[in-house]
Amino acid sequence: MKKVLFLIGILSLATAVLAQEEEKSNILFDGSSYNFLFSWKKKPAESHWTGLTFAFSGLNGLDKENVDLRLNRSYSIDLNLIDYNVPLHYHWLFVTGLGFDWSRYHFKGDVGLQDFNGTSRFLPDSEGRSYRDSKLLVYYATIPLILEYQKKVGKRKTFFINGGVEGLINLYSKSQVEARTSRNGIEKIAYKDLNILPVNFRLVLRTGFDDFGIFGYYQPYSMFQKGKGPELSSFGIGIALH
């Protein structure tokens, strides 16, 4: 009797354990069991916009001003601080946010960008001095409206491509020349109020894998107010780290 009770106890315990372990997934269609495949897909949660970019920059329209750009010293650095993402689908993401752009353009020759009767123009030094350096600095806050596509490649890598529009809000701008003085010295002269548009936009494109990408931008409209400056629009290509 004791043995029977003991066996019943063990059997009950075993049944309880097996009952837990036996729960397996199963699908029946019209009463027939089928094998099935499953996968969990998550909508993308993070974009590849925030981070740091460095691009060599150029200016369209400079040839009309008979001015050349020092390409190796003309660049922009972007620091994209905040993004807000809206997952649209399992591979698509809408991105907006806030970043900053520091652009600088160095010019060849003895001309600098300065205001002349309310219009910004490339002009030589009023005292006929030569310039060691002539540059234009333009700083923007950037607000993107971007669509991004992401796809897993292999087990760990994620390919991405994003593009769209970045709004530009001009925060600061100045033109600066370094004129050689008669005493072999250098005089720095800055010119502000250059009639740069307070708000503008550019088209951007970024692609890469995981935290590294290639970045490019193109500004379709001039950075200066119409009729108050040269028709110059910026473009650039570089790298991005996220």
Kindly list the residues in this chain that would bind other proteins in the complex (CB under 8 A): 2, 5-6, 8-10, 12-13, 15-17, 19-20, 23-31, 34-43
Give least dist CB 153 to other proteins, A: 19
Residue 35 CA to residue 27 CA, distance in Å, equals 7
Nearer to other proteins, 35 or 117 (CB): 35
Give least dist CB 195 to other proteins, A: 52
Give least dist CB 101 to other proteins, A: 36
Nearer to other proteins, 17 or 52 (CB): 17
Give least dist CB 50 to other proteins, A: 24
Nearer to other proteins, 15 or 181 (CB): 15
Give residue 222's identity as a one-letter amino acid code: S
Give least dist CB 151 to other proteins, A: 15
Which of 173, 187, 188, 182 is CA-nearest to residue 229?
A: 173
> CB–CB of 57/90 below 8 Å?
no
Give least dist CB 49 to other proteins, A: 24
> CB–CB of 215/238 below 8 Å?
yes
Nearer to other proteins, 40 or 116 (CB): 40
Nearer to other proteins, 18 or 199 (CB): 18
DSSP three-state, residue 178:
strand
**DSSP letter assigned to residue 196:** B
Nearer to other proteins, 16 or 199 (CB): 16
Which of 81, 83, 86, 80 is CA-nearest to residue 97?
A: 83
The DSSP string of 56-115 is: EEEEETGGGGT--B-GGG-EEEEEEEEEEEEE-SSSEEEEEEEEEEEEEEEE-SSEEEEE
